[in-house]
Amino acid sequence: MSSITRLAAVVSLGFAALGSAAVSAEEARYNQIALRAEVSQEVAHDLMQVTLYSEAQHKDPAKLAAGITASMNEALQQARKSSGVTISLGSRNSYPVYDDDQRISAWRERAEIRLESADFATLSKLTGELLQQLKMGSMSFSVANPTQKKTEDALLQDAINAFKARAQLATTALGGKSYKLVSLSLNGGGFQRPQPMRMQMESMSMAKSAPTPEIEAGSSQVSVNADGVIEVQMP
């Protein structure tokens, strides 16, 4: 190969390298900032959950199981009379009871029934009635999924506006003239606060007429986060 041909090849390679460097420079991004904006709203709990249980002890495990089953069946039949209440069976387990000589002296069994409803008055009344034969396991409150989704949708625009305001603040602080949005993700979530609750449960099991538990459902914060990256354009 002649010297002129070799020189042409070197020049050609040089231009190719410069072209590649120019493309890389164009693809490189500078002055990028990751930002987060969060908006939230207090939402009243609109769903009530109650867990009741039957528990007993007997020397004969078969008689014990039969007694628990009869108690749960009676509770289920009574619960089904209340409209708007979702009913499901919870856990059921039995275990041996040992005497001082570590011999099995009896068996103990427990079974749960779980109730859920958006009608607090109906479920509260039903709970008071069932407490004549069952025991209280737990009572809790939450925001129903449709309510949470509706609230998150309403907060979506607020989250975007809050992100834009923070992006402009960061751009100004850096002395930039404007910014470009590189990426943005919106995520919803909820923070369950401990809910206050009052219940009239003194001597419920001995009362002739079942008192209705008094309740305070409380509320939770539903929030939407806007996480994104901006690229500040300098003057």
Based on the structure, what is the number of domains in the chain? 3
154 and 177 share one domain = yes
Final residue of a domain: which of 142, 167, 185? 142
Distance CA 107, CA 95 (A): 6
Query: Who's near 174: CB < 8 A, 6+ residues apart?
Result: 31, 33, 232, 234
Q: What is the CATH number of the domain that holds 190?
A: 3.30.110.170
Question: Is 50 exceeded by the pLDDT of residue 23?
Answer: no
pLDDT confidence bin for 16, thresholds 50/70/90 = very low
Residue 154 token pair: 């309403």
Mean pLDDT value across residues 166-174? 95
Instruction: Calculate helix-pair angle for 120-130, 61-79, nearest 10 degrees.
Output: 150
Q: 207 lies in a domain? A: no
Query: Who's near 94: CB < 8 A, 6+ residues apart?
Result: 61, 64, 65, 107, 108, 109, 110
16 and 78 share one domain = no
Question: Is 60 exceeded by the pLDDT of residue 28?
Answer: no
104 and 175 share one domain = no
User: Mind listing the pLDDT tens digit for each residue in 70-91?
Assistant: 999 999 999 999 999 999 999 9
127 and 77 share one domain = yes
158 and 223 share one domain = yes
Q: 208 lies in a domain? A: no
User: Mind listing the pLDDT tens digit for each residue in 142-163?
Assistant: 999 999 999 999 999 999 999 9
Highest mean pLDDT among 12-16, 19-23, 66-70, 220-224: 66-70
pLDDT confidence bin for 217, thresholds 50/70/90 = confident
* Cβ(174)–Cβ(31) below 8 Å: yes
Tell me the CA end-to-end span of the chain in Å, nearest whole number: 50
24 and 95 share one domain = no
Question: Is 70 exceeded by the pLDDT of residue 6?
Answer: no
The range of the structural domain enclosing residue 224 comes to 31-46+144-199+217-235
134 and 108 share one domain = yes
